[in-house]
């Protein structure tokens, strides 16, 4: 009978946790679970906690669409906001509360379990980790939100409460995540389990976000409290660093080590992995993600590629004529992470005998993403693990927090940023040099940075953009830095100086021929010196129906992904409105920031 009851409870929990709706605060009753027969043992608590477990998946590599890093043909929210007429009627996602209800239900009932105090606090910590993670996502999107630390019934008057101030909500979030970091058991590094280390990492990540957000967003009026969070971020990162549990994955192979982080079927023993989403083909959990490759919805921008340094540590933008470098030129002597993130001249696609020739299409930039793409088999569906939290980000957080606090030292850089540079064979970042030789392009993009550490803050931002490229960090980085105006630039791609034939693989042999959109492709097609037919593209201005690629000047220039007029209204677009139908249900939920 006990076994049958457990099975029934398990089924109830499964149905509860799968259930997801956008009804008013998701007030689904919890009476599917009998608290009398459940929450009694460690096994009960583990069963419920496992149901709350939710890790980022391979969609991570699709999350930067619409930013200055990734052009997209998809109707993503960010792009729609900047080119359309956004309102609470048509921006209506993100107001889902079912997960919070599940977490709070656990926290109200776990205490009755007959287990030791340390184990009980561990489970409480894991639940509070999830609540902190849930609520900070809400704060990032909406800022002020109603805070609930209990489950609500259908007639609970708190259903109709107004927003709580951001400062109050954030204080509650950090009480939760600090408790989690203190009491969650260590667990083994690099597992799927939420560990003390994952909690410390999340604490440092959220504190950096909140600290820089308060520093750079005057509309909040919270600048005086920014350093409290920046110090909290640096301290949590340092605690993780001092644990000795983690290190940067570095086998001494600068041309492959970075790429291995995103193309390995087993990351659980990787010293850089703090939290891993484990994929296993035999268990029918596969990691194939062909959508990052090719001309499906997204392509990297020239802006992102220009961010990468030269191999000798100098800026790409300082190279004479760099604005008009062609594909072959721009990949020469660059930060090795660049060729481990994108298709480079000479790259060979799986099961093909010759180097890959990029296949161009309209509305795309010409650059192909390999990060997050499995190039090792004919089978798209593979078991490559995904590192959800990695130590490289911890080091970036530490360096940025200390730089923003004004207490960064060269030793700090050597223990953080320079470990990332060492992996790919780049020269060390020198603090004095960075502050003396400031990138003028960064001054244009980030004009609100000031102080003695201005130059090194810029270089830490460069490093972050390169190391975490295409991992869904870029939008919220620009948000917290109050740099939304960067998003107004339309994405561009490869540069072609004119019509004619081009080598795209780096072997000196021409592969493609670009002709005017009004010309006919010859028949038979011209062949190159290897006796292979050239691939023809018709070039024209954006919107030319006869063109197969769009160039900025029609017959020359940059590949153009779109020509929409983008407007980023500050500070309004750093936030999202509460969906109009939710305000109709609860009129106390007033809109803020101009929505």
DSSP notation for 503-523: -SSSSSS--EEEEETTSPPPS
What is the torsional sign of CA 154, 160, 163, 165? Answer: negative
Residue 359 burial (CB count, 10 A): 13
Residue 50 has pLDDT above 60, yes or no: yes
Question: What percent of the chain shows pLDDT beyond 90?
Answer: 85
The pLDDT of residue 288:
63
The pLDDT of residue 3:
40
Rounded Cα distance, 356 and 372, in Å: 18
The pLDDT of residue 25:
55
Whole-Å CA distances, 540 to 184, 492, 546, 562: 59, 15, 8, 13
Beta strands in 386-506 (DSSP E): 386-390, 492-496, 500-502
Residue 31 has pLDDT above 50, yes or no: no
In this predicted model, what pLDDT tens digit does every residue of 249-303 receive, in sequence order?
Answer: 999 999 999 999 998 889 999 999 999 999 887 777 877 666 788 777 899 999 9
The pLDDT of residue 23:
47
Local structure of residue 389 (DSSP, 8 states): E
Rounded Cα distance, 186 and 179, in Å: 14
The pLDDT of residue 29:
43
Local structure of residue 525 (DSSP, 8 states): P
pLDDT tier at 324 (50, 70, 90 boundaries)? very high
Query: Given the structure tokens 């080598």, which residue do they identify?
Result: 503
Q: Please state the pTM of the whole predicted model.
A: 0.94
Name the 3-class secondary structure at 3. helix
Mean pLDDT of 168-182: 98
Structure tokens at 386: 């995904």
The pLDDT of residue 351:
84
Whole-Å CA distances, 333 to 99, 437, 586: 48, 21, 58
Residue 123 has pLDDT above 50, yes or no: yes
The pLDDT of residue 375:
85
Query: Given the structure tokens 């005086």, which residue do they identify?
Result: 224
The pLDDT of residue 377:
63
The pLDDT of residue 189:
66
Residue 6 burial (CB count, 10 A): 16
The pLDDT of residue 17:
42
pLDDT tier at 18 (50, 70, 90 boundaries)? very low
Mean pLDDT of the chain: 92
């Amino acid at each position: 009978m006990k076994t049958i009851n457990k099975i029934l409870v398990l089924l109830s929990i499964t149905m509860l946790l799968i259930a997801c709706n956008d009804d008013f605060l998701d007030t689904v009753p919890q009476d599917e679970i009998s608290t009398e027969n459940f929450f009694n043992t460690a096994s009960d608590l583990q069963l419920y906690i496992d149901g709350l477990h939710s890790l980022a998946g391979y969609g991570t590599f699709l999350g930067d669409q619409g930013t200055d890093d990734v052009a997209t043909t998809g109707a993503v929210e960010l792009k729609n906001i900047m080119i359309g007429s956004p309102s609470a009627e048509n921006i209506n996602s993100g107001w889902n509360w079912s997960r919070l209800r599940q977490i709070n239900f656990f926290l109200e009932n776990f205490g009755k379990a007959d287990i030791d105090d340390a184990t009980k606090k561990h489970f409480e910590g894991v639940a509070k980790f999830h609540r902190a993670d849930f609520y900070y996502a809400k704060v990032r999107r909406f800022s002020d939100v109603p805070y609930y630390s209990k489950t609500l019934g259908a007639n609970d008057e708190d259903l109709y409460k107004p927003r709580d101030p951001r400062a109050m909500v954030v204080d509650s979030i950090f009480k939760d995540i600090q408790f989690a970091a203190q009491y969650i058991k260590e667990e083994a590094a690099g597992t799927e389990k939420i560990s003390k280390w994952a909690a410390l990492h999340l604490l440092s990540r959220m504190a950096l976000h909140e600290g820089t957000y308060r520093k750079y967003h005057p509309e909040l009026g919270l600048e005086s409290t920014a350093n409290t969070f920046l110090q909290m971020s640096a301290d949590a990162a340092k605690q993780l660093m001092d644990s000795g549990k983690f290190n940067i994955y570095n086998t001494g192979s600068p041309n492959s080590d970075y790429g291995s982080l995103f193309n390995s079927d087993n990351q659980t023993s990787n010293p850089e992995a703090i939290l891993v989403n484990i994929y296993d083909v035999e268990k029918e959990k596969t990691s194939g993600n062909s959508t990052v490759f090719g001309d499906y919805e997204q392509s990297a921008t020239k802006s992102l590629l220009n961010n990468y340094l030269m191999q000798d540590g100098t800026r790409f933008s300082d190279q004479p004529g760099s604005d008009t470098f062609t594909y072959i030129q721009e990949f020469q002597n660059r930060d090795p992470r660049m060729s481990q993130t994108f298709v480079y001249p000479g790259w060979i696609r799986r099961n093909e005998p010759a180097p890959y020739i990029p296949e161009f299409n309209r509305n795309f930039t010409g650059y192909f993403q390999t990060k997050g793409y499995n190039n090792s088999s004919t089978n798209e569906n593979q078991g490559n693990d995904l590192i959800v939290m990695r130590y490289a980000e911890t080091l970036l957080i530490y360096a940025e927090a200390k730089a923003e606090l004004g207490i960064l030292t060269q030793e700090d850089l050597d223990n953080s940023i320079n470990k990332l540079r060492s992996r790919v064979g780049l020269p060390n970042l020198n603090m004095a040099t960075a502050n003396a030789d400031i990138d003028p392009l960064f001054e244009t993009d980030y004009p609100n940075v000031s102080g003695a550490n201005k130059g090194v803050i810029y270089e830490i931002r460069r490093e972050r953009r390169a190391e975490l490229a295409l991992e869904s960090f870029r939008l919220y980085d620009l948000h917290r830095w109050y740099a939304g105006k960067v998003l107004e630039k339309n994405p561009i791609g490869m540069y072609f100086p004119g019509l004619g034939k081009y080598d795209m693989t780096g072997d000196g042999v021409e592969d493609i021929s670009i002709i005017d959109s009004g010309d006919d492709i010859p028949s038979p097609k011209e062949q190159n010196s290897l006796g292979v037919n050239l691939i023809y593209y018709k070039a024209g201005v954006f919107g030319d129906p006869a063109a197969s690629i769009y160039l900025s000047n029609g017959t020359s220039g940059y590949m153009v992904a779109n020509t929409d007029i983008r407007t980023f209204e500050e500070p309004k677009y750093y936030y999202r409105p509460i969906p109009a139908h939710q305000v109709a249900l609860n009129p106390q939920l007033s809109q803020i920031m101009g929505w």
